[in-house]
Amino acid sequence: MELYSPDTKAHDEARQGEAFTSNSKQQSFEKFFYVESYGCAMNFADSEVVASILEQNGFGSTREIERADLILVNTCSVREKAEQTVRKRLTEFRKLKYQKPGLLVGILGCMAERLKSQLLEEEKLVDIVVGPDAYRTLPDLITEAGTGQKAVNVLLSRDETYGDIAPVRLDGNGISGFVSIMRGCNNMCSFCVVPFTRGRERSRDAFSIVAECRDLFERGYKEVTLLGQNVDSYYWNNPETKQSVTFAQLLESVALIDISMRVRFSTSHPKDITDEVLHTMAKYYNICNYIHLPVQSGSTRMLQLMNRTYTREWYLAKVARIKEIMPDCSISTDIIAGFCTETEQDHEDTISLMQAAEYDLSYMYFYSERPGTLAAKRYKDDIPEEVKKRRLQEIVDVQWTLSNESNKRDVGKTFEVLIEGDSKKSSQQWMGRTSQSKVVVFDKANHSLKKGDYVQVTVNDFTKGTLLGAVKNN
């Protein structure tokens, strides 16, 4: 499917946005905003959309908070701790507000959507509250707040995708970029606040996605990650031709931009990832061999209470199918310990599923009840905190062993690594990633390599979470 014809309307719009952005970089701004982002990659991508909207309205971005006329915090509500982190951070802005009369503080994202104007009552220093679908109104809200009034817009939309806005890349390494392909979620997992903070699922215009990816490639990017809460349910209907585009077709179109640009995606819901997607991954060399496939629990009883719509057996069959189609595909997951009514047996089921799936990596959490979710309404949060934490630690320990074993299997193998920059520990070493998303560190030696290059690296050792290697000499 040809999705990257340069003469589409969406493409032109995205390009106009880019031209404006690069012009505006040369222009000297009189006002500056500082943005800090928390939560998932989608929030970080949203901050780049916000930066674009603000630049077009005369605000330049700054990384020096003292210089800012507007401080924005793009927030996450997924667990209570994420909200506490933001509240603590807000207290640190008090002094700045006192020192700089007229300084505005705005809360964006999921916490803004969840708490709405209540946030203004609870956090007196906040001037602006904007939900994830209302960023286009931010310039008006800033004007309103500038007159001393508090400004709020938390309206959710059924069709906002910001598809026509060319994001301003903030803080990136210039090699890997995030591209949002859809917004919201229709899944209603019982523990999850996201459907309430992000609204209904909607897919972005496929042409604008491909145009944005192509634009990144032309600017020297070597990797794009397509983002959505449930990318496999991506489905866009072209209003002009009435043709539809599935996630597999979109993935193929992005892969076809250039073989030297890697393509990743996140997150896949196990119920929606299709054979068509797996075959597309296997067909294109530049679609990375890595799938993040959150399981949440290894107990079918828990999965039912969580409203995940699959069983333990069904999930393991999906893992087997992935390995059958792509034997060297790496798989990671998300796990929640101590969900409502979880027994020791349910917990053991999670551990045995982890061992069966041989995860390379897991993101592990203990259950945090979120107001308004189905679980908060229906079930008692009845697992004591010390039990949740003990189970979580056991899960972390199992994953530690699995990751170690996975890394051990890589010793002696040679991988193509995309260099992302200097290693954290030494400017004498490069840090890059394999297609399987594993971090590799290796000596620069005398090779004339640079950031963004691909290089063959043979793994000879590993530390916690990192493969160590050496450039393979031909």
Query: Residue 425 burial by CB count (10 A; 0-12/13-18/19+): exposed, middle or buried?
Result: exposed
Of the candidate residues 185, 273, 331, 392, the single one contacting ligand SF4 (CB under 6 A): 185
411: amino acid identity, one letter: V
Using CB under 6 A as the binding rule, whether residue 194 contacts ligand SF4 is answered as yes
* Residue 126 tokens, joined: 């906040």
- The entry of ligand F3S, ligand SAM, ligand SF4, none near residue 79 (CB within 5 to 8 angstroms by kind) is ligand SAM
Residues 38, 3: Cα–Cα separation, whole Å: 33
- The entry of ligand F3S, ligand SAM, ligand SF4, none near residue 368 (CB within 5 to 8 angstroms by kind) is ligand SAM
Give min distance, CB of 310 to ligand SAM, in A: 11
- The entry of ligand SF4, ligand SAM, ligand F3S, none near residue 370 (CB within 5 to 8 angstroms by kind) is ligand SAM
Using CB under 6 A as the binding rule, whether residue 189 contacts ligand SF4 is answered as yes
237: amino acid identity, one letter: N
Which positions from 195 through 224 interact with ligand SF4, judged by CB under 6 A? 195
Q: Nearest 5°: phi and psi at 120? A: -70, -35
Which positions from 183 through 242 interact with ligand SAM, judged by CB under 6 A? 191-192, 194, 229-230
Give min distance, CB of 423 to ligand SAM, in A: 28
Please count the other Cβ atoms lying within 10 Å of the Cβ belonging to residue 295: 25
- The entry of ligand SF4, ligand SAM, ligand F3S, none near residue 128 (CB within 5 to 8 angstroms by kind) is none
Q: Rounded to a whole number, what is the largest CA-CA distance in the chain?
A: 67
Of the candidate residues 229, 266, 407, 423, the single one contacting ligand SF4 (CB under 6 A): 229
37: amino acid identity, one letter: S
**Angle ∠(353,229,351) on CA atoms, nearest 5:** 10
Of the candidate residues 77, 225, 289, 332, the single one contacting ligand F3S (CB under 6 A): 77
Q: Does residue 267 have a cis peptide bond before it, meaning omega lies within 30 degrees of 0?
A: yes
Using CB under 6 A as the binding rule, whether residue 187 contacts ligand SF4 is answered as yes
List the one residue out of 328, 255, 318 whose CA is nearest residue 289.
328
List the one residue out of 314, 255, 309, 317 whose CA is nearest residue 286.
255
Residues 319, 267: Cα–Cα separation, whole Å: 15
Residues 351, 395: Cα–Cα separation, whole Å: 6
Contact between residue 61 and residue 90 where contact means Cβ atoms under 8 Å apart: no
Give min distance, CB of 37 to ligand F3S, in A: 9
Q: Which residues contact 157 (CB under 8 A, 6 or more apart)?
A: 133, 199
Please count the other Cβ atoms lying within 10 Å of the Cβ belonging to residue 57: 14
Of the candidate residues 196, 315, 367, 430, the single one contacting ligand SAM (CB under 6 A): 367
Using CB under 6 A as the binding rule, whether residue 306 contacts ligand SAM is answered as no
Q: Name the segment binding ligand SF4 (CB under 6 A); options: 93-101, 187-195, 314-322, 385-393.
A: 187-195
Which positions from 102 through 121 interact with ligand F3S, judged by CB under 6 A? 109-110
Residue with tokens 């299997």: 409
Using CB under 6 A as the binding rule, whether residue 438 contacts ligand SAM is answered as no
Of the candidate residues 164, 272, 334, 443, the single one contacting ligand SAM (CB under 6 A): 334
Q: Which residues bind ligand SF4 (CB under 6 A)?
A: 185, 187-189, 192, 194-195, 229-230, 269
Q: Which residues bind ligand F3S (CB under 6 A)?
A: 39-40, 42-43, 76-78, 109-110, 193-194, 197-198
